[in-house]
A and B are shown apart, each in its own frame.
Chain A
Amino acid sequence: MILFDKVSKIYSKDSVALKNVTLKINSKEFVSVVGSSGAGKSTLLKLLMREEEPTKGKIFLDGVEVTAMRKNQLHHMRRRIGTIFQDYKLLPAKTVYENVAFAMEAAGRHDEEIAEDVPQVLEIIGLAGKKDSFPHQLSGGEKQRVAVARALINRPDIILADEPTGNLDPVNTKEVIKLLLKINDLGTTVILSSHDANVINSIGRRVVVLEKGEVISDEEKGKYIV
């Protein structure tokens, strides 16, 4: 279970990303966080990863206070979360294969496991033929898929997907959403942030709407009306 307890993030007086947000997400849930650009969606996900610190409030993950964790312990928590970043965040000096394998290496997995799992995942996302390419040789959609593969590879408890379809064409978008729904069916909590009404409305699960840093609606089987 994830709990945001009265969380605020204030960058400066004129730039308030989140205002007193309280949000509870049960495990195995599929939640879409929606809102226009600058509504605070990315900030919400960044705070959960501790990529940034909240100005006020606490965040809990399965009863453990994420916001109080020591920095040199954060990697244990992060290994339980697979993140698909808006800007992919691929390692430019590593190949497709190595980018995906890195998440496993960092988690201390055995070489045999890595040799088995990585090709499988690359097959699923349709990039088996490009495993030796470097990120700069890939299209936006391909990079996005590598990011998805890396997020999935460690079979995390939670998937954070920050605008994962932002750079994809409709066909690829459908594929990614289908994949996320399937992962969720297998028991993984998914938190998806998006500003795309079509995408959200096709899912038909819980929708949390953010506006100017505040939660303005939170509905099971919600819709996002712009």
Chain B
Amino acid sequence: MFTINLKRVFKTGYKNFHRNDWLSMATVLIMVLVLFVLGGLVFFSALAGTILGNFESKIDITVYFKPEAPEAGIFDVKKEVEALPQVADIKYISKEDALVQFKEKNKGNALILDSLNELGDNPLEAALNIRAKTPESYAAIGDFLAKKNYPLVDKINYFENQEIIERFGAILGTIKGWGAFTLFILAFLAVLVAFNTIRLAIYTMREEINIMRLVGAANWFVRGPFMVTGVIYGLVAALAASVMFFPLTWLIAPKLSFLVPQFNLFSYFIGHFVQFFGLMLVAGVALGLSSSLIAIRKYLRV
């Protein structure tokens, strides 16, 4: 008896879906749009993460040492700074390395190279390049260096760039906060639209729901097929959205990597396809099912 009924519920749910083809198509289309927004949000946050990571890796503190500073002394400082919990990575650049880098950077500029030769001696200073784990911890590292006031240190470029680094940190924080807020609002709107579409679909069947009850159908026997239809909406929408993201990401990827060379949208999509498809499925089915459940409650009065 139970299996017969279950079979009937599924059959009717499927029939509802394919007989009301226009209504089904419209509903699925709206849900595809919702899933597009959702997928777009996923891509956007991945992209934003890459950009922010990229910026963050470019912030650093460089400590320059006086020309007469012995390497052993510099290594002592390095060891102390390395011990700080905020430090992600520290790199020693010797006077010679600095000269090589400088020459490389000014390869095309004969005037600079000539004047360098004129000097004869290496005018550049050895330096320590410090990278913090988070942009916010640069201030702590800077404070530490200032307090220690090492005699070998000539200058610390954090203090020159302090304002820029701090402002950048603040901007990053704001972008993250507003980004999350915007994503949330967008997702909420999308869900609302999908929910209303399904509600409208069920609204058109309110008279039928009444009739079913009056000819002796149990509540769940009426509700069941609508739930099945809702799940089918979700499944089809998830499938359609996931398939459509293939050409879409492939087309957008080259344009995007022009702006952000470190991020390839298409390979990100391919690389995370299983998780992505899973997310689409879960979101689509949850949306279809919950919308149907909530909407039909209202019309199961008789």
Contacts and interface: CB of A to CB of B under 8 A. Distances in A.
A86 to B, nearest CB: 12
B16 A89 contact: no
B4 A103 contact: no
Interface string A83-102: 10100011111000000001
Contacts of B215: 78, 83, 89, 102-103, 106, 150
Interface residues of A, number: 28
B16 A93 contact: yes
Interface string B1-38: 10011001000000010011000000000000000000
Contacts of A81: 216
Interface string A49-69: 111000000000000000000
Interface of B: 1, 4-5, 8, 16, 19-20, 205, 207-208, 210-219, 221, 302
A91 B217 CA distance: 13
A85 B213 CA distance: 13
Contacts of A83: 214-215
A83 B4 CA distance: 25
A45 to B, nearest CB: 11
7 contacts: A50-B302, A72-B219, A75-B219, A78-B215, A93-B19, A103-B216, A110-B4
Contact of B212 (A85, A91, A111): A91
A28 interface: no
B208 A92 contact: yes
A154 B16 CA distance: 24
Contacts of A49: 214
A107 B214 CA distance: 12
Most buried by A among B5, B211, B216, B217: B216
Given A93-B16, A103-B216, A106-B212, 10 more contacts: A75-B219, A75-B221, A83-B215, A85-B214, A89-B207, A102-B217, A106-B217, A106-B218, A106-B221, A150-B215
Contacts of B19: 93
Interface string A7-24: 000000000000000000
A71 B220 CA distance: 12
Nearest to B221: A106
A177 B161 CA distance: 98
Contact of A91 (B5, B211, B219): B211
Contacts of B302: 50-51
Nearest to B208: A91
A79 B217 CA distance: 8
Contact of A89 (B5, B20, B211, B216): B211
B216 A154 contact: yes
Interface in A86-132: 89-93, 102-103, 105-108, 110-111
Contacts of A103: 215-216
A74 interface: yes
Nearest to A91: B208
Nearest to B212: A106
Contacts of A78: 213-216
A92 B207 CA distance: 10
Interface in A115-155: 150, 154
Contacts of B205: 93
Nearest to A93: B19
Given A83-B215, A93-B16, A102-B215, A108 B5 contact: yes
A102 B216 CA distance: 10
Query: 8 nearest interchain CB pairs?
Result: A106-B217, A79-B216, A78-B216, A89-B211, A75-B218, A103-B215, A75-B216, A106-B216
